[in-house]
Amino acid sequence: MILRTVAAILLTLAGICAAAAQDESRLVLLTHDSFAMTESVLEAFERHSGVSVQILRSGDAGQMVNQAILSKNNPLGDLLYGVDNTFLSRALEAGIFAPYESAELAYVDEAFIPDDSFRVTPVDFGDVCLNYDIAYFEERELQLPASLSDLTKEEYRGLLVAENPATSSPGLAFLLATIAQFGVDGEHTYLDYWQDLAANDLLVVDGWTDAYYGEFKVTGRDTGSRPMVVSYASSPPAEVYFSEDPDAGAITGAIVGDNMCFRQVEYVGILAGAANETAARQFIDFMLSPAFQEELPLNMFVFPVREDAMLPEVFAEYALIPENPAVVDPADIEANREDWIQAWMEVMLR
């Protein structure tokens, strides 16, 4: 009995060895755990190219980039998709990407292309903005805040919930928006601003889910008590898309005033030393094609970078795109992330 079970364990180990066999006609896409894509679209690529695509999710964006750097000498996959401008510098400095300039970039606004080395290719973007409960503001005839400074006014006291920049990606994005707006030196820095926010009864929680489902009060949902939350510009159309009655219209809105949002751009890059570089290039072209780009909004609630990509109806109707989001250079972010967050922690926990 026991011998047999030991044999079973050894057989399992043997199975592990067998599972390790590499497959030539396979493309491995390393991505973060929010990745989603319409199955039929991916299948069309597989049919067309004769390459099967394996998706390897690797935790959040930070974990994914770190894993790619750690496995630089023996890459986990052929492509890495989902590194954003807050982690881009780290990935570029570590030299994990092989350059590729896709012809499809002709359809992409140049502002999305980080530099002329083409080590990464932009795929999508999303803006981190304040969301609000429409009914709350309408019932009280409360004006929407027109700038970040407005949030420290008495009428918005205790209304906002934000995320911790140390543990949350939208939290960091919002911190960066305040850094772009108020700066790190001078009379009134971003830290002074956060102090004012805290004095105006700001609530900070660890992550997006806790903020959005735990603390954000939306009419019709029985959780939360705050009618404003740091979320995405795409959350209101998603809220309609996933509502139980999509015809009822929007229940939340995004505030997209100048310098009130921070734009996250997501990139894809070929991992240096990829086993299947030709297929990886084909896949990047495919990611920029209308077929893939137009599926992005309803799968991951981000916007396509391709200019002629059509938006789905619910996005066309309910999504707002900020005209002037706040901008912080990726190299500045990587160089100062720790100091900025540390200083923020000290102010907020005082």
Q: Which residue number, 94 or 142, has a Cβ lying nearer to other proteins?
A: 94
Q: Which residue number, 60 or 332, has a Cβ lying nearer to other proteins?
A: 60
What is residue 141's DSSP assignment?
Answer: T
Residue 244 sits in the site that holds other proteins (CB under 8 A) = yes
Interaction pattern, residues 292-311, with other proteins; x per rule: CB under 8 A: -------x-x----------
Residue 14 beta carbon to other proteins: minimum distance, rounded to whole angstroms: 9
Report how far residue 224's alpha carbon sits from residue 222's, in angstroms, rounded to the nearest whole number: 7
Q: Which residue number, 104 or 334, has a Cβ lying nearer to other proteins?
A: 334
Residue 4 sits in the site that holds other proteins (CB under 8 A) = no
Whether the CB-CB separation of 319 and 150 falls below 8 Å is answered with: no
Interaction pattern, residues 31-70, with other proteins; x per rule: CB under 8 A: --xxxxxxxx-x-----------xxxxxxx-xx-xxx-xx
Residue 74 sits in the site that holds other proteins (CB under 8 A) = yes
User: If phi over 0 gives left and psi between -120 and 50 gives alpha, with beta otherwise, what is residue 59?
Assistant: left
Residue 183 beta carbon to other proteins: minimum distance, rounded to whole angstroms: 23
Residue 226 beta carbon to other proteins: minimum distance, rounded to whole angstroms: 11
Residue 6 sits in the site that holds other proteins (CB under 8 A) = yes
Beta-bridge mates of residue 267: 83, 122
H or E element in which residue 238 lies: helix 235-241
Residues in the chain: 350
Report how far residue 314's alpha carbon sits from residue 320's, in angstroms, rounded to the nearest whole number: 11
* Of residues 131-190, those binding other proteins (CB under 8 A): 164, 166-167
Whether the CB-CB separation of 274 and 78 falls below 8 Å is answered with: yes
Stretch that binds other proteins, among 114-122, 140-148, 204-212, 282-290 (CB under 8 A): 204-212
Stretch that binds other proteins, among 16-24, 184-192, 274-282, 315-323 (CB under 8 A): 16-24
Of positions 44, 49, 52, 71, contacts other proteins by CB under 8 A: 71
Residue 332 sits in the site that holds other proteins (CB under 8 A) = no
Q: Which residue number, 101 or 166, has a Cβ lying nearer to other proteins?
A: 166
Beta-bridge mates of residue 127: 263
Residue 205 sits in the site that holds other proteins (CB under 8 A) = yes
Residue 63 beta carbon to other proteins: minimum distance, rounded to whole angstroms: 5
- Within 10 A of 237 (CB to CB), how many other CB atoms are there? 26
What is residue 50's DSSP assignment?
Answer: S
Report how far residue 294's alpha carbon sits from residue 38's, in angstroms, rounded to the nearest whole number: 10
Half-sphere exposure at residue 38, Cβ-oriented, CA atoms within 13 angstroms: 14
Report how far residue 117's alpha carbon sits from residue 319's, in angstroms, rounded to the nearest whole number: 33
User: The dihedral of CA 302, 306, 307, 308: what is its sign?
Assistant: negative
Stretch that binds other proteins, among 2-10, 150-158, 181-189, 266-274 (CB under 8 A): 2-10
